[in-house]
Amino acid sequence: MIRIAPSGLIAIALLAVMAATRSHHFTSLLGPGDATLAAFFLGGLFLRRAGWLALFLATAGLVDFLAVQAGTSAWCITPGYALLAPAYGALWLAGRRSTGALQSTAGLLRSAGLLASGVVVFFVISNVGFYAFSEAVADLSAIDFALRVATYLPGYLAQAFLYSSAGLALGAWTDPRRPHPGRRLTAPGKVAWASA
């Protein structure tokens, strides 16, 4: 029997949701919103290691490549696309800095602030890259471009918070330290089951 470590299960789940929703980002406005930002944030929170970040970056790139090969317009793929790596890295780092998110209300509020900051940093880096290298916006001044793309930021924040909230709720529900009827913590990490 093949055994998969909990971190592997988390990675598979996040990558699957990212791949399923990211393809809609390129092909349809009717599909579910793109979960990529939340996947990177939650990956940083739950998986932490740089090796996982590299896998997430490769998966995002592969999904984009496959979408373009399937006929999706490549107008947003420019040399600035390379700046998505540090942009997504900012979200991963925000997730890493969210240690303790599931332990208290203060931890959740701190995580919300870090997620919002990570999304804004992602948004700025990715749009600077697009503006700097895309012929499609060459006739716009930097201010005009910034004003146009700023209208999309609330949607990016909303999708990131929606998916991240679902991920955090699932993480809290599956956390072995969570209070549960018939179970009490006797010491950090040790669970004692009450007799019936």
Q: What is the pLDDT of residues 137-160, one digit of tens each?
A: 889 999 999 999 999 999 999 999
Q: How many helices (H) and strands (E) does the chain have?
A: 7, 2
User: Which pLDDT value is given to residue 27?
Assistant: 40
Element (H, E) at 192: strand 190-193
Tokens of 162: 């929606």
The pLDDT value given to residue 26: 46
Across the range 81-85, mean pLDDT stands at: 96
Please give the structure tokens belonging to residue 192.
Answer: 């004692």
pLDDT band at 3; cut points 50, 70, 90: confident
Q: What is the mean pLDDT of residues 77-90?
A: 95
Residue 135: the pLDDT is 86
pLDDT of residue 176: 59
